[in-house]
Amino acid sequence: MSTTFEFTSDNQKIFQTILKKYPKKRAAMLPTLHLAQHQQGYISPDVEEYVAELLEVPVVDVHEVITFYSLFSQKPMGKHHIRVCNSLACWIRGCDQVKEYLREKLGVEDGEISEDGDFSWESVPDCLGACEMAPMLQVDGYFEGNLTRDKIDEVIERKKRK
């Protein structure tokens, strides 16, 4: 049950600095949505209404944006979100086995959240831009490459401790 969304007072200040960067309010759309997703973990309908009001745009335009871009999520994700690259170089170097191992280790399918809510993972067809360390994944935004089973174990342990 989501209550009406509002930026925290810190985020309000950040929003004001964001606005100053652009000659038109609408241009602040992406950074504002990033900020909102960072605060709440995902974009809910009341976030859309809130952002539409802040930027003085029709709310349907906000919905178009969040359904268009891959990084905005309309559902909550795990505490740590993992994205596995499936692009050509990573595929050549074994991303299928990475996915198999993650499925085994976390116990959930592509696109799902683990039982304890700690991890969610998805496999993405986009190249994440780290082909020199293929196969690789992105967790909480940061790249982990040259993956081996041990490396994947280590990453997951490290994240669990946080």
Partner 1 sequence: MPIVKLVSEYFGNEEARNLKWRLEHGGYEGARKMFREMEPSKVTEEVILSNLRGLGGAGFPAGRKWSFVPQNTDKPKYLTVNADEAEPGTFKDRYILEWDPHRLIEGIIICCYAVGIHTAYIYIRGEYVRPFERMQGAIDEAYEAGILGEKTLGQDFKLDIFVHRGAGAYICGEETGLLESLEGKKGWPRLKPPFPALVGAFGCPTVINNVETISHLPNIMMKGGQWFADLGCERNGGSRLFALSGCVKNPGVYELPLGTPLRELIYEHGGGILGDRKLKGIIPGGTSAAVLSADEVDIPMEFESLARAKSMLGSGAVIVLDETVCMVKALHNIENFFAHESCGQCTPCREGTMWVYRILSRIVDGAGTPSDLETLKALAENMSGTSICALCEGAAMPLRSFLEKYPEEFEYYVTHKRSMVEDLQKDSVLV
Partner 2 sequence: MPTLTINEQEVTVENGTTVIEAAEKLGIYIPRYCYHPGLSLAGSCRMCLVEIEKIPALQISCYTVAQEGMSVSTDSQRVKKARQAMLEFLLSNHPLDCPVCDQSGECDLQNFYMEFGRYDSRFLENKVKKKKAFPIGPHVMLDQERCILCTRCVRYTDEVSKSNELGVFNRGAHSVIDLHPGKTLDNHYSGNVIDICPVGALTEREFRFQCRVWYLETQDSICNGCSRGCNISLHFNTSRSHKAGGKRILRVKPRYNPDVNHWWICDYGRFGYEFIDQNRIESPYVKDSSGLQMADWETALEKTAQVIKDSLETSGPESVGVVVSPQLSNEDLQLAHELFVEELKLTNVAVENPWEAPGVEDDFLLKADRNPNRKGAKKIGFEGDAQTILEKVSSGKVKVLYLFWHNFDSKEALELLQNVEHLIFQGVNWHQTAEVAQIVLPGVTHAEKDGTFTNFEGRTQRFQQALLPIGDALSDSEIIVRLAEKVGHPLSVSLKEAAV
In the bound state with partner 2, the residue whose beta carbon lies nearer, of 34 and 63, is 63
Q: Least distance to partner 1 from the beta carbon of 78, Å?
A: 17
Of 100, 90, 153, which Cα lies nearest the Cα of 124?
Answer: 90
Q: Least distance to partner 1 from the beta carbon of 1, Å?
A: 27
Amino acid type, 61? D
Where are the alpha helices (H) located in the chain, listed in sequence order?
Answer: 9-20, 29-40, 45-55, 59-68, 88-92, 95-106, 149-161
Residue 105 binds partner 2 (CB under 8 A): no
- Phi and psi dihedrals of 143, rounded to 5? -85, 140
Q: Say how many residues touch partner 1, by CB under 8 A.
A: 53
Q: Least distance to partner 1 from the beta carbon of 58, Å?
A: 12
Residues 41-60 that bind partner 2 (CB under 8 A): 45, 58-60
- Phi and psi dihedrals of 120, rounded to 5? -135, 150
Q: Least distance to partner 1 from the beta carbon of 10, Å?
A: 17
The pattern of x and - marking residues 62 through 101 that bind partner 1 according to CB under 8 A reads --xx--xxxxx----------x--xxxx-xxxx--xx-xx
The pattern of x and - marking residues 104 through 123 that bind partner 1 according to CB under 8 A reads --------------------
Of 87, 88, 89, 118, which Cα lies nearest the Cα of 102?
Answer: 118
Distances (CA, A) of 15 to 31, 44, 104: 8, 18, 41
**Which chain residues interact with partner 2 by CB under 8 A?**
45, 58-61, 63-64, 67-68
